[in-house]
Amino acid sequence: MRAKTKRIVIRFLALTGLLGAALVGFWITVYMPWALNWGATDQEIDRRMPGDEIVQRPTFNATRAVTIRALPEEIWPWIIQIGYRKAGFYSWDRLDNDGIPSAERIRSEYQNIRVGDTIPLSKETGARVVELDPNRSLLLVVDTNHDTHGPWTWAWGLYPQDDQHTRLVTRLRVRLDSSRSNLFLRTFEIVMMRKHMLGIKRRAEKAMRPDGGLARVRRPPVLPLQGD
């Protein structure tokens, strides 16, 4: 009886080991490439984006992209109004905006951003606007905290494809000291970011006219820096 029990235990451990190895292999070869570069082409992954030089040797470097049937000036207002307890993040509001629904319209009070402003990302964390090229690119930088080695960057780029379509590309670069934090970020961050980008896509495309044309959004003014 003991020999039979021992064989059962050995088989169970062997099966568990095989399943574990299969899951690790899937995570490394399939899930991670998809999560880190969801929707992005090789050219978009290799293209330089604002802030790449800020985070040296990142432990997390993710480039994502999505095609939106809208022009850059029609997507831009949805990007620059994001923020905790502002327009939200168009993602899982219970997780990133205290349950407050993300905006379904362009909020004029959040359109006048400029370099030096702080975009709230949570109760404790804010991101500085470091570079701003209206309708083209935006760079947010978050200063160091207890988990990161130096600042981390969140870059945005809008790349017209034709007279109706634009590629929205984002890049997140972080250098983490904690292996646990890095594993968590690599595994779950895509859940929020993917929904966030698809939320922008849905809102921008919803502004289209019934005849298939694109409803034009007047570019909001960008206030000059003090001293200019």
State pLDDT tens for residues 73-86: 999 999 999 999 99
- Does 92 lie in the same domain as 78? yes
Q: How many domains does the chain have?
A: 2
Same domain for 109 and 2, yes or no, is no
Domain co-membership, 101 together with 177: yes
| Whether the predicted pLDDT of 53 surpasses 90 | yes
Residues 12-42: tens digit of each pLDDT: 666 676 676 777 777 678 888 999 999 999 9
> What percent of the chain is predicted at pLDDT more than 90?
66
Q: Please indicate, yes or no, if residue 228 is contained in any of the structural domains.
A: no
What backbone torsions phi and psi does residue 56 show, to the nearest 5 degrees?
-85, 135
Give the tens place of pLDDT for each residue, 164-221.
999 999 999 999 888 888 888 999 999 999 999 999 999 999 976 554 444 444 444 4
Q: At what angle do helices 179-206 and 72-80 cross, to 10 degrees?
A: 130
| Residues 13 and 44 reside in one and the same domain | no
pLDDT at 1 over 90: no
What would the pLDDT profile of 105-155 be if each residue is shown by its tens digit? 999 999 999 999 999 999 989 999 999 999 999 999 998 765 556 899 999
Task: Give residue 220's pLDDT.
Answer: 43
Burial class of residue 80 (count of CB atoms within 10 Å of its CB; 0-12, 13-18, 19+): buried
Residue 124 belongs to domain spanning: 37-206
Are 123 and 193 found together in one domain?
yes
Same-domain pairing of 64 and 134? yes
pLDDT of residue 146: 58
